[in-house]
């Protein structure tokens, strides 16, 4: 099978294919979002391909030249042992050609080009294919949950058909007083450097990447907060998201930048912000267990109760996914990797890939949308 990368002149063909498979209002084919995600994401290793007019979309074409199978990905600079490698987030993997194995061929092609291949939220069919290719599937990535309104959350879980939980007590702490920063460029240098120094393997957080990812997101308005007393003590990035089908909100803590005294101050500012904005709960996702252990220790120091990987659905609607407690992860060493770093060390949060999105196509109706 002949796998070809797409050029910038073929963008409309890609969007047409996405809409044909996912519907006319598919979020990922929105012009503004597509351009932001695939054309503007900063990545050093992929820049030479962009300079040649290519976009991060590969496909297998039909005999008439139409797209038959497609894989869209977001390239990222992989930090590993103080060196930069090549990473790719698998975002869309579609085989509409009727050719058996076309989707797997695309995945293998991309896998050969990178050090780390990763993807969130694969379905049962693609999960089976990934496992057959020898990739690691983590059914649910690590998640920590802070409950601010136990009775309200209990009612939501029951209404969603979930199981009664006895662990829904709220924390005794109140978080920290917080200040809101104007943008990611105001994250203190000390916090930014500490984040990078603490990472063994993960997605590089450059100033340029932060600006693209959070300050310039076309739809979502993020809050960048820090402790009121000292912005150099830590920073957190979060969004407030509507719990679909309800009048309640959840705070998604998508990134934490520790200060020299650890992550406690950044986490405290995030919790304080979430409480002050009336959220029912707050949660934090990360792919490596070490990070969640660190969060749990900081929570105890703050007097907060954190539930680790609880049976609380991270979505309450649509119904077919309401029972999921977290998002899944597929990850693998690519063909360029020396495999010296275990996959369990790979650190990524909800800030990475395309999981932090608006699920309602009516952007203006969301509590976290930009006005």
User: Would you say the pTM of this structure is higher than 0.95?
Assistant: no
Mean pLDDT within 90-117: 92
CA distance 58 to 14: 10
pLDDT interval class at 365 (50, 70, 90): very low
pLDDT given at position 69 = 94
* Residue 99 binned pLDDT confidence (cut-offs 50, 70, 90): confident
In the structure, what pLDDT confidence band is assigned to residue 155 with cuts at 50, 70 and 90? confident
For residue 264, the model assigns a pLDDT of 94
Q: Which residue has the tokens 């599937």?
A: 137
pLDDT of residue 324: 78
Output DSSP code: residue 37.
Answer: I
Q: Is the peptide bond before 219 cis (omega within 30 degrees of 0)?
A: no
Task: Average the pLDDT over 250-269 and give the result.
Answer: 93
Domains of the chain, first to last? 3-138 (3.40.630.30), 142-325 (3.40.630.30)
pLDDT surpassing 60 at residue 362: no
Handedness of CA 270, 275, 278, 280 (dihedral sign): positive
97: which residues sit within 8 A by CB, 6+ positions away? 60, 62, 68, 69
**Mean pLDDT within 203-228:** 94
Q: What angle do CA 27, 217, 14 make, to 5 degrees?
A: 40
Task: Give CA–CA dist 330/130, Å, rounded.
Answer: 7
């Amino acid at each position: 099978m002949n796998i070809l990368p797409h050029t910038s002149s073929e963008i409309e063909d890609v969007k047409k294919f996405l809409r044909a498979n996912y519907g006319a209002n598919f979020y990922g084919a929105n012009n503004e979002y597509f351009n932001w995600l695939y054309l503007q994401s900063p990545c050093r290793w992929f820049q030479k391909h962009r300079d040649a007019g290519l976009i991060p979309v590969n496909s297998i074409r039909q005999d008439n030249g139409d797209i038959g199978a497609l894989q869209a990905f977001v390239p990222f600079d992989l930090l590993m042992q103080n060196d930069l490698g090549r990473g790719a987030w698998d975002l869309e993997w579609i085989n509409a050609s009727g050719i058996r194995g076309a989707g797997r061929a695309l995945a293998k092609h991309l896998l050969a080009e990178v050090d780390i291949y990763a993807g969130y939220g694969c379905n049962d069919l693609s999960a089976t294919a990934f496992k057959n290719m020898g990739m690691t599937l983590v059914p649910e990535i690590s998640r920590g949950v802070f409950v601010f309104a136990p009775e309200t959350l209990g009612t939501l879980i029951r209404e969603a058909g979930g199981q009664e939980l006895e662990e829904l007590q709220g924390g005794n702490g109140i978080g920290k007083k917080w200040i809101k920063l104007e943008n990611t460029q105001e994250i203190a240098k000390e916090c930014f450097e500490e984040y990078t120094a603490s990472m063994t393997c993960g997605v590089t957080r450059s100033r340029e990447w932060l600006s693209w990812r959070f300050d310039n997101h076309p739809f979502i308005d993020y809050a960048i907060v820090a402790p009121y007393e000292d912005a150099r003590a830590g920073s957190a990035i979060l969004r407030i998201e509507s719990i679909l089908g309800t009048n309640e909100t959840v705070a998604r803590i998508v990134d934490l930048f520790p200060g020299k005294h650890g992550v406690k101050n950044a986490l405290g500012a995030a919790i304080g912000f979430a409480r002050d904005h009336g959220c029912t709960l707050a949660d934090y996702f990360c792919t490596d267990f070490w990070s969640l252990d660190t969060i749990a220790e900081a929570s105890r120091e703050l007097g907060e109760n954190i539930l680790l990987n609880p049976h609380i659905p991270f979505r309450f609607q649509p119904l077919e996914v309401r029972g999921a407690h977290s998002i899944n992860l597929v990850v693998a060493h690519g063909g360029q990797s020396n495999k010296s770093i275990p996959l369990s060390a790979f650190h990524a949060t909800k800030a990475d890939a395309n999981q932090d999105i608006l699920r309602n196509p009516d952007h203006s109706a969301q509590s976290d949308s930009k006005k």
